[in-house]
Structure 1
Amino acid sequence: MPEETSEHANSYFINETSYLPIVSISTDANNLFDDQQGIYVSGIYSNTENPLYSGNFMQRGREWERPIFLQLFDKDGNSTFTQHAGVRIHAETDSSIDRKSLRLYARDDYGEARFQYPFFGPDERKQFNRLVLHNGNQDWNRTLLHDPLIHELTKDSHFETQRSQSVNVYLNGEYWGIYHLRERYDSHYFRFAEQVLEEDLDLLEGDGTAIEGNNVDYKQLLAYIREYGASSNESYRYIATQIDIDSFIDFYITQIYAANTEWIDGNLYYWRERPYGKWRLAFQMSIQILRIAILASNITP
């Protein structure tokens, strides 16, 4: 009997020119486009009463993760990284956006528990559990620059930002467009980027919903601020022991300067290391930022 061999794939680009690194994803086409199991299509979960926001691509969880073979090439076409991994549709999207965001998963089940490669430059960190191929959302068919630009400009500020790299993406050998390969905030990110263990992490979003850990300390802090304010020296000194003031100031300056209309409605993350760490801000992806119409109507001399 012949020995069983592991599945393998490779990508070949013939008469193709790229001025960006290339991410190539190979998988059984049914994993993406089959009505029953495809994660990229409307499929069996399509709802004619809500066609924009229904479909297989709106489903979540491990059940809607599919195996892939991932390859990275530099802009000269040299293969620099390969790994078996998993893929899901990333974040909420709608059927009008053909180029959907993808989330990449490293797992022992696929052979490697981590992605170990300097995706964002030789001086950046080299260990990741999750990566995102982001489509630019509402900017997907325009500049694709607004959000990655503000993250790059503020990467040395006192709040978290997400590194990114523009790439050309191919799905099963077919050119799919320009994406941004990006980091993702979760317990894995903070373990590698800030050396905070999952059991010591409180990560909240919006109005205080806990993504990791819990919001007990945060709610107690809000209750204190509502009762005592920040006008007295005593209350301010206490608040400054709970909140990283530099992080707070830098974050507000950036949001105001960039005329971001999303963060005030809850598109923000904040985190701390238990038990005594201060609350710090994390700059989340935003689609309503550095836009001419918003800048013109919201910023005056």
Structure 2
Amino acid sequence: GSERQAFLELFTPAGERAVATGFGLRLHGGAGRRGGLEIKKSYRVYFRKSYGDGRVDYPIIPTAEIEDFDKLVLRANFGDGRAHGSYIRDQMIRDLHSEMGGMASNGSWYVVLINGKSHGLYNVVERMDEEFFISHLGPGEYDVIKTGNTVLSGTRQNWDQLRDFISSTDFSNEENYQQLASRVDIENFTAYMIVNLWVLNLDWPHNNWYAARRIPDGKWIFLCWDSEWGLAGGPYGPEVDPYSFIDSGGAYGHGLSRKLFFALLGNPGYREYYQQQVRKYLNGPLSPANALRQTHHHRDIVVADIEHEFETRGYGKERWHEQIKEIEEFTQNAGDYFQRYTDQYFAHKPSPTTEDRLTLTQDAEGGRHIIYRTAKGQLHELASTADASTWNKTTISLPGTAPPAAGQPSSYTLAEGQQQILYRGQDGHLHLLSKPAADAKDDPWQHTDLTAQLEIPTAASDPSAVVVDGVPHVVYVDQAARIRELWFDGAWQHYPLPALPRTDGDAIISRNQSTLYVTYRTMFGAPCEQRLSLENIAPGRRPWIPRLIYRLPASGQPVGYNAGGKRHVVFWAAEKWPHDDPFYFDGIERRQPDYRRYEGSPNALVHAWDKGERFRRLYQIGNPPSPVGSPAAAGAQARAVASISLQEPCWFWKVAS
């Protein structure tokens, strides 16, 4: 907003004038700007020589350990103030992060009078721009980025390069992980994530963040800001699972910090490190004793002025004391909740569905080939003529090196007519059966143990395959609930999809032109789809992008297809979430132009389709009977079931007889 000239006098608690100078005054903040003059506003103070002193040489904020300031922020604590707040949450969270080794905006407390009239207690804090980092880290130039990728100093070039790097790189590869560690301060970022998840700051990471690095080759660090929803300040209870939020809830799609967290969790060593750091901080700065000490420290500083302000405004000081009690209770229980949720999240193992799934391919002459497995792992084929007038059943004779199938097979046909069958063995290895050509019907099947050949993790789910421009692409879920892609373009290669959102079981691959889609249900029950444009890949770079449907839980396996230029997902909605509901702020969703509230019933077949970045439109599909297993989809461009040409999308599912 516009800057107004004003005059500042600062008095010590003893009543002595310590500062007297002209300055520039601006409104500060986002939602807090709204409303009339009766609403307590936040301000930004600029000391400029055109008004008076260019810098104020006085320790306005003693904990900052610097004595001259060129600007300040006067926080009214809009989200944690007025009649409903404690006023101390944001400062307390920044102080906790500082005790964890993070860099933080220091703050102090002042009663602010404007034209002689008291506007109440303000949290006077450092503004985190380039001057802030120079004051604390030393002279130099800094890239400083905040919410909305807003550049406060420097440029976005390195920030955008970091985003591209983490969006398309496999960090289970130790060399890639070390490259990331050379760009990001891993210890700083880990503490930043832990404190925000522990306090349940769920108005983040899409909002309220800062990041900075020294130019030209400094590591990125992350800083807390405006964390007022934390410490029981948000519209949710203290028992909310922060991992359901960051994995499958309202954190979806927002901010580089979430992408970075996902990328790091793709590294086994980092997963161990993160859990160690959780235990370390829960026994240190985030322990009940230390968090309670911080609560009482800030309570005791502000209590007299806050009680006066609440009484003057007619709120009643009892309401403020109730807020302090909520923080006290939160600090005593948060550690137990957070440790339990951390243990559950990292101990999760996939639970693939066991279904009587068939695999169907169509050869160049129009003949159909159905592959299925019997109870003892034997594979069989049903083959038809193009007009389906004749069907023949044969038993697939497995080579001596090929074990029986443990799950349901997947099959596909290459351009040369080569038939391929892929299945999971009892040891979790993926086995490929192939015939060299379409006219080699009497030749024996050739066997390849892909898991052993590629030295990839064993499978917990059955593989799913699709062919694009003659290249087969296969996905499966490993024992750590990580989805992995294999493809053959002259040699078999492999690549893991992003570590989060974590899958609960199976994953199904489909395609539309040059884009791959992998559809699955997350461990928290949300339907999810990851997509990869094959036009954007490069050696060692495969930028898979996740999209969630987080307003309804799925029961079983969702499936996706393309029709009418849109991406569609069909799933059977569960009556309730398998765990606690993944939190998301519905107020943000309702403001989107393509938002539609789901008006169907639970335990129903649901059709979701996207308009842009998200699946916001959810509709119930009639009133079909309840399924046994998961639905499947087929259409003019859909390959979720088979290579069958249909004019309109169709859905299939099995019901109890």
The bucket for the TM-score relative to the shorter chain is 0.7 to 0.9
Gaps of 5+ in 1: 1-59
TM-score, structure 1 length as denominator?
0.73
SS of the residue corresponding to residue 151 of structure 1 reads helix
TM-score, structure 2 length as denominator?
0.35
Q: Does 1:139 align with 2:80?
A: yes
1:165 matched to which residue of 2? 108
1:248 matched to which residue of 2? 189
The one of 185, 189, 212 equivalent to 2:132 is 189
- In the alignment, the residues of structure 2 paired with residue 94 and residue 123 of structure 1 have an alpha-carbon distance, to the nearest angstrom, of 30
2:7 counterpart letter in structure 1: F
Q: Does 1:94 align with 2:37?
A: no
Q: Does 1:128 align with 2:69?
A: yes
Instruction: Map 1:1-301 onto structure 2 (within 5 A).
Output: 60=1, 64-92=2-30, 93-95=33-35, 98-121=39-62, 124-141=65-82, 142-197=85-140, 200-206=141-147, 208-291=149-232, 294-299=236-241, 300=337, 301=340
Check the 8 A contact 2:3/2:25 in 1, yes or no: yes
SS of the residue corresponding to residue 177 of structure 2 reads helix
> Kindly tell me: are residues 233 and 153 of structure 1, through their superposed partners in 2, closer, same or farther at Cα, counting changes over 3 Å?
same
1:25-60 CA distance string (max 9 Å, x none)? xxxxxxxxxxxxxxxxxxxxxxxxxxxxxxxxxxx1
> Kindly tell me: are residues 245 and 107 of structure 1, through their superposed partners in 2, closer, same or farther at Cα, counting changes over 3 Å?
same
- In the alignment, the residues of structure 1 paired with residue 110 and residue 86 of structure 2 have an alpha-carbon distance, to the nearest angstrom, of 14
1:237 counterpart letter in structure 2: Q
1:31 matched to which residue of 2? none
- In the alignment, the residues of structure 2 paired with residue 123 and residue 247 of structure 1 have an alpha-carbon distance, to the nearest angstrom, of 19
* Range that drifts further, 79-88 or 100-109: 79-88
1:185 counterpart letter in structure 2: M
Instruction: Give identity over the alignment, percent.
Output: 27
**How far apart are 1:176 and its partner, in Å?**
1.3
SS of the residue corresponding to residue 189 of structure 1 reads helix
- In the alignment, the residues of structure 2 paired with residue 71 and residue 250 of structure 1 have an alpha-carbon distance, to the nearest angstrom, of 38
- In the alignment, the residues of structure 2 paired with residue 208 and residue 94 of structure 1 have an alpha-carbon distance, to the nearest angstrom, of 23
**How far apart are 1:213 and its partner, in Å?**
1.2
Query: Number of residues paired by the alignment?
Result: 237
Check the 8 A contact 2:23/2:46 in 1, yes or no: yes
- In the alignment, the residues of structure 2 paired with residue 230 and residue 183 of structure 1 have an alpha-carbon distance, to the nearest angstrom, of 36
SS of the residue corresponding to residue 161 of structure 1 reads coil
- In the alignment, the residues of structure 2 paired with residue 287 and residue 123 of structure 1 have an alpha-carbon distance, to the nearest angstrom, of 21
2:183 counterpart letter in structure 1: Q
> Kindly tell me: are residues 208 and 84 of structure 1, through their superposed partners in 2, closer, same or farther at Cα, counting changes over 3 Å?
closer
SS of the residue corresponding to residue 296 of structure 1 reads coil
- In the alignment, the residues of structure 1 paired with residue 95 and residue 132 of structure 2 have an alpha-carbon distance, to the nearest angstrom, of 18
Check the 8 A contact 2:109/2:121 in 1, yes or no: yes
In terms of fraction of residues, the more strand-rich structure is 2
- In the alignment, the residues of structure 2 paired with residue 281 and residue 221 of structure 1 have an alpha-carbon distance, to the nearest angstrom, of 14
Check the 8 A contact 1:99/1:176 in 2, yes or no: yes
**How far apart are 1:78 and its partner, in Å?**
2.1
* Range that drifts further, 91-100 or 183-192: 91-100
Check the 8 A contact 1:130/1:188 in 2, yes or no: no
2:182 counterpart letter in structure 1: T
SS of the residue corresponding to residue 50 of structure 2 reads helix
Q: CA RMSD in A?
A: 1.9
Check the 8 A contact 1:196/1:273 in 2, yes or no: no
> Kindly tell me: are residues 285 and 123 of structure 1, through their superposed partners in 2, closer, same or farther at Cα, counting changes over 3 Å?
closer
- In the alignment, the residues of structure 2 paired with residue 222 and residue 123 of structure 1 have an alpha-carbon distance, to the nearest angstrom, of 31
Check the 8 A contact 2:22/2:51 in 1, yes or no: yes
Gaps of 5+ in 2: 242-336, 341-657
Tell which structure's C-alpha radius of gyration is larger.
2
**How far apart are 1:130 and its partner, in Å?**
0.9
**How far apart are 1:229 and its partner, in Å?**
2.3
